[in-house]
Structure 1
């Protein structure tokens, strides 16, 4: 047997109670239980061996973990305690009480299960009509890592420390040699023409006893400790720094934290840098449709990975023309090109700093018919030549005016020794213009206002209401597991509230709503082997209940017979 056999929740004990009586019909724990029962976890269950002691049922562990995260609890010790004290948690695990180490290990080793649960919850939201993938709002937030800033070393600082230590070693060596010279001078004054190696009487007696070797070793150790210890410590520190630099080069990073090697120093709202991760989400109707963890300090190159994550969860590409709305932090040409290749409408405003500059590139109007740029002074910049950026692999078209020295804005428009202003174009001018016009349109203004009520409330709920401002698990994989669980917990909480509202209007229980809205579709989703498994469980439950009924019937018949005899 792979798993510990669980008692059916509807089965009554000898004391007359059933586990199903622990929570009310509209309780959040009941919704979590009913929803998780529709998820196929056979791929995870198949990893367990038939040998050894039966394991706890994975689905029950997942129910407990996600219910805990939805209530702002993520400590395995606290969860283990709640499984002994709180009836809602007991209901979800069928009175099973795993130890905190088992709970902690299960969370760390089941990244696939967490991602699968998130995707399945999103699918259910889609089936219920709460999301339709007709728009996507993307943003990121800083999440502190479980690491100290003091444990972070930067490549530049390490190099400076190596130079400083080498200078200190050189200084120590100079002092040592100077001291040796001074010692020689003092010995010359004391011994004069004598060799200075004549033994004093106390040492002569030790030699006679055969202890010369011992005295020499003792003297040698004393000299090494006094003169070489400080240098040895610094040399060891230099070797450690060189090993650290080598590790940074191999990983291609500029900094490393000894507590969490994947965390990076990022500035939060107060301007202080802390080891952290960038938690990214895509939302629709305040439900999270995609979540991702990034090590990048900015959002510049995180948009396309988030969209790909949404498509992976959805199980297919987004419809052409789907609006993708972000803030200015995601604005760059790579993101614009990527959205255009996917046939998605990007609503990405340009950064305010460049908008305020009177002579920035966007102030130069491109005339497609003439293939020229028109500057703010009304002069034309014509195509000059091609330039290839080998590092980025980008080919630029250079547009330049012959001579700008007669322009009234000369010296303000550009700086340097050049006689004229140049515009570097990478072939995205039409795409940039289209995005700018799209953002400035009435629909664009509506989308930008809508974004404020889409993503920001999600982060507010996660950080303020649920208390998730930092990660407990270390490493990028650990942060990804926790971020997925946090986002799933947010969706579960919001789904429960929406179902309660519907249940109040229709006067139906949340379970009945889920069954009416999901069951007809889940028959196509649940595999045949899972249906057969559920059928066998139901048959077994019927047998057990029937046996209990027969035993009670026999008991009452015997009782009646005894009463009749007397």
Structure 2
């Protein structure tokens, strides 16, 4: 993968590694290095590798929005674990613009008995077909397509139907929804967990502990560049850094009398 910033201002982005930290009680318990520029495809290999070496598996997996995918939800569930993953639309779903977007599936009325949606104008969107798509990791996802039979004369058409690059004139277009039922179900279940008091505490601790581990290495230990090339060498350096960082963390917890603490508590007003 490559860094985001263009240091030379010539389009030659610097090569980089995608480092993954598994943190428990503020200590780095596992590390993995991935060539993937996004975090989505790193979660399953990380969990498999960690479980095979540690000899046990954590019952709860807490991760940020970058790790959310249908494949990851199903893997965690099938592995006997509980996911606490922040949905990718979690922050934007709280905005007024999102809640008033009449073209979104989330803002339409759903009828489970007929498996159909009712739009703002009271017209029904029914199932037309299903399509299967394969991700880069090989996972096959099923998408269900819902379509309105006739949107002619609808006063909300411009607000509801998006996509200015479509060759079909707006007056001839009908509303279409593409829905992954599995993803929608797993995201809804996960949302209930992460918005509970316990889930909120876990998300807060992820921000403090997981993000804090990278802050300790990059800022406090001033580590910015690997001395050796190659995944194996970079992993070895990361492990040594993690060991040193964990010793510093243990010292700090001893000095502050926090050796028995695992999670930070939520602060109440």
The 1:366/1:407 distance shift into structure 2, 3 A limit, reads: same
- Normalised to the residue count of structure 1, the TM-score between the two structures is 0.38
The 1:293/1:351 distance shift into structure 2, 3 A limit, reads: same
Whose helix proportion is higher, 1 or 2?
Answer: 1
- Provide the C-alpha distance between the structure 1 equivalents of 2:26 and 2:6, rounded to a whole number of angstroms: 23
8 A Cα contact 2:105 2:177, kept in partner: no
User: How many positions carry a matched residue from both structures?
Assistant: 237
Residue correspondence of structure 1 range 46-125 to structure 2 within 5 A? none
Determine which of 31, 38, 41 is the counterpart of 1:301. Answer: 41
Structure 2 residues not aligned, in runs of 5+: 258-269
- Give the superposition deviation at 1:421: 2.1
- 1:266 to 2:266 alignment: no
The 1:389/1:453 distance shift into structure 2, 3 A limit, reads: closer
- 1:388 to 2:143 alignment: no
Determine which of 12, 19, 28 is the counterpart of 1:279. Answer: 19
Equivalent residue for 1:444?
199
CA offsets, 1:160-190, max 9 Å, x none? Answer: xxxxxxxxxxxxxxxxxxxxxxxxxxxxxxx
Structure 1 residues not aligned, in runs of 5+: 1-263, 503-566
- Provide the C-alpha distance between the structure 2 equivalents of 1:467 and 1:402, rounded to a whole number of angstroms: 61
- 1:413 to 2:160 alignment: yes
Q: What SS does the aligned partner of 1:373 have? A: strand
- Provide the C-alpha distance between the structure 1 equivalents of 2:134 and 2:18, rounded to a whole number of angstroms: 30
Equivalent residue for 2:260?
none
Residue correspondence of structure 1 range 113-512 to structure 2 within 5 A? 264-267=1-4, 273-319=13-59, 322=60, 324-352=61-89, 355=93, 357=98, 358=101, 359-364=103-108, 366-375=110-119, 379-389=123-133, 393-414=140-161, 415=163, 416=166, 417=168, 418-425=173-180, 427-499=182-254
- Provide the C-alpha distance between the structure 2 equivalents of 1:365 and 1:491, rounded to a whole number of angstroms: 51
Equivalent residue for 1:537?
none
Between structure 1 and structure 2, the one with the greater Rg is: 1
Residue correspondence of structure 1 range 1-40 to structure 2 within 5 A? none
Equivalent residue for 1:185?
none
Q: What SS does the aligned partner of 1:317 have? A: coil
The 1:472/1:372 distance shift into structure 2, 3 A limit, reads: same
Whose strand proportion is higher, 1 or 2?
Answer: 2
- Give the superposition deviation at 1:468: 1.5
CA offsets, 1:464-513, max 9 Å, x none? Answer: 111212211101121111112222222233234445667xxxxxxxxxxx
